[in-house]
């Protein structure tokens, strides 16, 4: 099978590309690295079944040759990213999704949308089933991501009804693992970076808000299962084990042996207080559920971060003080992102220069 993966240079996208290659598929990766990282796919460039295309999917999605499936993962996914790039986030969720859908339509290909648990907003129903319609503030600061994904789901379902596109929708809950950017502002990456560098761990509110953390390998298995099916869904993909943010901080501090203190900051606007997926539909229809517990997943993630100490110091400075869209992260981001995709034996292809503030299409 030949699969086009938009946002394939991002955290999730690069892991999906690897998983597809491991099982014998061919992959066309599209990204412009505004939130992805060329290093994520550097090892894949020499693979004979891997193709890279530097592309802004909000402008167009063009792939030469036949495509059997399209996995649309292109979008910023962390609050600091989409708060700094609100219009680009809306563009990739709307125009980018439509462009990817048109690619699937032209090739009669399976189309899988990487949606998000954020479509539930700050939920009034707990835990969250796919039948819940959500509680989203359509004009709040987080709406640029929430509503972009809600529109992406709506237009994907409309393409299925109107044009017969074989659409599947995954609602992804908090996912973590190797290749997370230490400066992306997500809670797992922030805690690990702060613990390893001796910075205070940033907790919003009293730390009693909950999240459900799914290890990336488990999440990717769910995406592949959805890709191989003909089901629309939507399917919640996430770990149904609910943990408080304070509990996560304690686990990270113990695992890293860090003496970092914990500092509390005001809760961001419209930040969800509770988040836990009901995954009955994914279990029964896709035969999927998470297998890796948080202790093992965090052990692997901490080891990855500890092996990339060159990035941690700059990242610690950039996330000091919390997930505030006014924090000037552009300089740190530019310093941490390679300018070109490294090719085989350290060569550079020169096809993917990074420009801070460019239109978002990475994962």
Q: Which residues are catalytic?
A: 145
CB 283 within 8 A of CB 239: no
**Any idea what DSSP says for residue 222?**
H
Count of residues making up the chain: 363
**Please, are residues 32 and 55 in contact by the beta-carbon 8 Å criterion?**
yes
Report CA-CA distances (Å) from 104 to 90, 94, 158, 169, 229.
Answer: 21, 16, 14, 14, 15
CB contact set of 26 (below 8 Å; sequence gap of 6+)? 1, 2, 3, 49, 50, 51
The DSSP output letter for 342 is B
Nearest to 55 by CA among 96, 1, 106, 13: 96
Kind of pairing between the strands at 69-72 and 214-215: unpaired
The values of phi and psi at residue 67, to 5°, are -125, 130
252 burial level (CB within 10 Å; 0-12, 13-18, 19+): buried
What DSSP string describes 39-91? Answer: GGGGGGTT-TTEEEEE--TTT----SS--SEEEE--S--SHHHHHHSHHHHHH
Ramachandran region, residue 274 (left: φ > 0; alpha: ψ -120 to 50; beta: rest): beta
Rounded to an integer, what distance in angstroms lies between the CA atom of residue 38 and that of residue 340? Answer: 7
Helical ranges in the chain per DSSP H = 11-22, 79-84, 86-91, 97-107, 143-163, 187-197, 216-228, 245-256, 280-281, 294-306, 309-319, 330-336
Identify the three-state secondary structure at position 203.
Answer: strand
Burial environment of residue 151 by CB neighbours within 10 A (0 to 12, 13 to 18, 19 or more):
middle
């Amino acid at each position: 099978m030949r699969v086009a993966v938009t946002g394939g240079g991002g955290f999730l996208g690069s892991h999906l590309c690897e998983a597809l290659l491991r099982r014998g598929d061919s992959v066309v990766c599209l990204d412009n690295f505004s939130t992805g990282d060329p290093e994520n796919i550097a090892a894949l460039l020499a693979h004979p079944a891997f193709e890279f295309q530097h592309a802004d999917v909000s402008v167009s999605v063009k792939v030469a040759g036949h495509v059997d499936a399209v996995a649309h993962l292109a979008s910023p996914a962390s609050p600091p990213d989409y708060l700094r790039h609100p219009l680009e986030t809306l563009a990739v969720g709307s125009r980018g999704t439509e462009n990817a859908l048109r690619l699937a339509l032209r090739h009669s290909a399976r189309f899988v949308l990487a949606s998000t648990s954020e479509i539930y907003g700050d939920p009034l129903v707990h835990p969250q089933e796919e039948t819940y319609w959500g509680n989203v503030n359509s004009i709040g600061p987080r709406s640029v991501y929430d509503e972009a994904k809600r529109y992406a789901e709506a237009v994907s379902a409309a393409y299925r009804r109107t044009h017969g596109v074989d659409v599947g929708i995954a609602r992804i809950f908090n996912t973590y693992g190797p290749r997370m950017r230490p400066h992306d502002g997500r809670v797992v990456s922030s805690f690990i970076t702060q613990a390893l560098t001796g910075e205070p761990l940033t907790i919003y509110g009293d730390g009693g808000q909950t999240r459900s953390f799914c290890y990336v390998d488990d999440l990717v298995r769910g995406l592949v299962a959805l890709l191989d099916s003909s089901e629309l869904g939507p399917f919640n993909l996430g770990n149904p084990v609910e943990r408080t943010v304070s509990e996560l901080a304690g686990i990270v501090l113990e695992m890293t042996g860090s003496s970092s203190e914990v500092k509390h900051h005001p809760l961001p606007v419209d930040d969800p207080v509770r988040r836990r997926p009901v995954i009955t539909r994914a279990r029964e229809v896709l035969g999927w559920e998470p297998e890796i517990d948080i202790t093992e997943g965090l052990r692997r993630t901490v080891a990855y971060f500890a092996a990339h100490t060159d990035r941690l110091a700059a990242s610690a400075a950039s996330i000091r003080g919390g997930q505030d869209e006014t924090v000037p992260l552009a300089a740190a981001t530019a310093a941490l992102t390679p300018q070109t995709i490294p090719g085989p034996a350290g060569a550079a292809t020169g096809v993917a220069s990074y420009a801070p503030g460019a239109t978002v299409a990475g994962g």
